[in-house]
Amino acid sequence: MKYLLVFCLVFSASYAAIDEHRISLIERKFEDLARQLMLTELAMGERTRSDYDSGIKQIRNTADGTKSYFDQTHTFNSVCSIHEHSNNDRTVGMGEFTASLNGVEFRTRHNDYRLRMPHRTSKNYHWQEDIPFPHVPPSVLQKRTLPEQIKELHNYFRAFSFQNFHFRDYRPYFKPVLCYLEGTWTADTKTLNEPFESDRHHIDATSWFDLQEKIRFTSYTGGKHYLENFSYLPTTIMNMVNGTPEYAQWNYRIACHPLKKDLPLSALKPVDDMAARIGHRWNITRFAHSRAARFVLAPDFNGNRNKYQWQNGYGSFPDRRTSINSVLDWVMSEIPGKDNYPAKLHDTTFGMRILDPRVRNATELNTGYYHRYFRHERKGAMGTFNAHRGYSDRNLFVAQTSNPNVAEMKIKWCGRDEHTHKPFCKEEGVRYSYAIPLEIIYLNPLMSWNPYNLEHISDRRKKYIVTKDGRNGGLTHAKAYNGTSYEKYYRTPVEFYQTAHTTVDKDAADTARGTVGVLDRHGNVKRVLSSGVRITLPDIPGVGKIRMRYPIMPITSEGNQIGKEVEAVKDVLNHLETMGAYLQERPSSLSGGGNAKADAHFRTSVTNQDPPGHHFHEMFIPNEDMLDLGKGHKITVVTTTDNSHDHKIEVSYDQHTHKYTIHKCDGQDKCWDGHTAELFRLE
């Protein structure tokens, strides 16, 4: 019995030893596997980084065509799916897109971001402030009657549209704001954080896990949630600490920054995104006036080389050259990373000081702000001081942060002390975020001008007052809105956009541009238009249409050989006169170059039905179809996507009244959201 007990004890002890040995073996194997997974992710990231620049990759496809260029890339009808929600006070309409930032590819929800900027005094994570709207010029407010005020305000818009600050100094009242896409690995992998506010969209999931499951499902079925509230945001293993993986969750936001000084329109020039342009059969001027156009910033602010073309509302400048520290670098360098405006950080990893490339002396760069160039103290292996962030990423702007909400990347490194020459080793951790520019938006005085002194309900919880008792913005006392709110932001008198003495109802197309009734403080109905952010303002008498949003987002495909070759070929073909000599055999003749028959451009009437809210749609009808319409045939077109939906419309043409009308809308006699049968020809 005694022996048996001893035997048992010895046996179980050795058994436990085997167990412990096995567990530590499994732990080691597990760590090896996790490390291998990290390396696989690195390989995928490296692959993406060498294939693509940071930028916008794709928007949602809404229609197909007989050629691939009828399909969406980063643009087609509208770049990055930008649109208007000008009935909201500070909402900027932007749909879903796929983007890549430093090799991390992700897909956004329907964005509709707000004009908000990082906090000016607090470093707290994602604390933001509203961007102040420009004031109304005092010379306008001094005028006693409304027509006089309108006339004087027109002068400011005229000065802006001619970029002539001698006529009226428009610069304090037309403030450029740079909105940007920012992404980073965050440390919180448990609770889902809404990265930025939208009045209209929120991520529809309870946790990151829930969101991933929903995205996986829609990817599997190819389906789509009709409200566009899902985003695809990857996760990663950031570090291995004593055999335990530290996970990180990718998240992004869109925020804005008011530029410190004026950005002349002469420093913006359209980019030829030829697929979308040929898909619409537009020449470059026509394309540049559409919402499909992107712009590029000039190499420098230099006013002599940047020529402003007032007829077009953009500039032209010599741009076939290399540049460092261009206008884009200057404006991006005003934007802080996740430490907000108080950011003050220096990166000294590997014992190297990172210097500001813009100054000659050895000033340390504040790496808490976005930059893509920096200087090294010592000459690098290639004998240069200047370095670019990323191995080959033209568009990669980075900023350091100290915020613990951003996942830390750790590194062990060894060196020698500069003075004592003693070797040492240390472990350091840094946190970075990445950004690309999205668009420049010029704010204007209409955003704060309130000539009828309409009551604004600023408390969001009380917005119901405005629409109480079935008020829908109709032009009668019973139906007019009672004051304005953040999502019923109508305060621009309709006369601002009309020629003098024309009654409001005369031109159906103009009134339909969203004239609504709002009660003033004395209960009188005032006819007003929405005053929020627009891509292009409606026609202003004596001024014309002015573009207010200039998309400047870079795209991913220019980061590889194909993209660069195509861009070179496009330049030669577009500029045969000056660059034709690069062709190995010159074309003997080009047939007349005719494109007289551009697509006809239409829009529907405005509807105020809610949901889906104040909006209209546009559509483009090719010339062949216009000829068929003339012969009495009906043709089918799909409208642009606005307020997250489109319509399939059967159009007919009446040869007697010369009117184009909606015959069927989504197969029904009437559009479900209240567009009338009328169609308005824009050009």
Ligand X SMILES: *[C@@H]1O[C@H](CO)[C@@H](O)[C@H](O)[C@H]1NC(C)=O
Tokens encoding 236: 């990663």
Kindly state the smallest distance separating residue 598's Cβ from ligand X, in Å: 5
Kindly state the smallest distance separating residue 358's Cβ from ligand X, in Å: 8
CA pair distance 680, 670, nearest whole angstrom: 16
Which of left, alpha, beta for 280 (phi over 0: left; psi -120 to 50: alpha)?
A: alpha
Scanning 24-32, 279-287, 419-427, 662-670 for contacts with ligand X by CB under 6 A, the matching segment is 279-287
Kindly state the smallest distance separating residue 286's Cβ from ligand X, in Å: 4
Could you say whether residue 272 binds ligand X (CB under 6 A)?
no
Nearest CB to ligand X, comparing residues 247 and 301: 301
Burial class (CB in 10 A: 0-12, 13-18, 19+), 368: buried
- Candidates 24, 142, 283, 499; binder of ligand X (CB under 6 A) is 283
CA pair distance 102, 432, nearest whole angstrom: 11
Could you say whether residue 363 binds ligand X (CB under 6 A)?
yes
Counts of helices then strands in the chain (DSSP H, E): 12, 33
Nearest to 418 by CA among 476, 352, 368, 330: 352
CA pair distance 579, 575, nearest whole angstrom: 6
Nearest CB to ligand X, comparing residues 119 and 214: 214
Could you say whether residue 573 binds ligand X (CB under 6 A)?
no
Number of residues counted as binding ligand X (CB under 6 A): 20
CA pair distance 517, 472, nearest whole angstrom: 9
Rule CB under 6 A: which of 102-141 touch ligand X? none
Nearest to 195 by CA among 369, 485, 433: 433
Q: x/- string (CB under 6 A) for ligand X, residues 483-502? A: x-------------------
Could you say whether residue 200 binds ligand X (CB under 6 A)?
yes
Rule CB under 6 A: which of 446-485 touch ligand X? 455, 465, 482-483
Burial class (CB in 10 A: 0-12, 13-18, 19+), 201: buried
Rule CB under 6 A: which of 507-536 touch ligand X? 519, 523
Tokens encoding 551: 């998309």
Scanning 173-181, 201-209, 253-261, 667-675 for contacts with ligand X by CB under 6 A, the matching segment is 201-209
Could you say whether residue 561 binds ligand X (CB under 6 A)?
no
Scanning 98-106, 194-202, 428-436, 657-665 for contacts with ligand X by CB under 6 A, the matching segment is 194-202
Scanning 20-28, 85-93, 173-181, 282-290 for contacts with ligand X by CB under 6 A, the matching segment is 282-290
Kindly state the smallest distance separating residue 228's Cβ from ligand X, in Å: 7
- Candidates 77, 229, 485, 604; binder of ligand X (CB under 6 A) is 229
- Candidates 151, 286, 645, 664; binder of ligand X (CB under 6 A) is 286
CA pair distance 222, 439, nearest whole angstrom: 30
Rule CB under 6 A: which of 607-646 touch ligand X? 644
End-to-end CA distance of the chain: 105
- Candidates 8, 26, 227, 504; binder of ligand X (CB under 6 A) is 227
**Cα 422-426-428 angle, rounded to 5 deg:** 145
Could you say whether residue 574 binds ligand X (CB under 6 A)?
no
CA pair distance 412, 417, nearest whole angstrom: 16
Tokens encoding 487: 């999502």
Q: What's the CA dihedral at 537, 540, 543, 544 to 10 degrees?
A: 60
Kindly state the smallest distance separating residue 229's Cβ from ligand X, in Å: 4
Residue 638, classed as helix, strand or coil, is strand
- Candidates 201, 526, 527, 615; binder of ligand X (CB under 6 A) is 201
Determine phi and psi for 436, rounding to 5 degrees: -130, 150
Could you say whether residue 588 binds ligand X (CB under 6 A)?
no
- Candidates 240, 475, 598, 635; binder of ligand X (CB under 6 A) is 598
Which residue lies nearest ligand X, judged by its C-beta?
Answer: 202
Q: What is the DSSP letter of 466?
A: H
Nearest CB to ligand X, comparing residues 557 and 641: 641
Report cis status (omega within 30 of 0) of the bond before 612.
yes
Interface ranges with ligand X (CB under 6 A): 200-202, 204, 227, 229, 283, 285-286, 359, 361, 363, 455, 465, 482-483, 519, 523, 598, 644
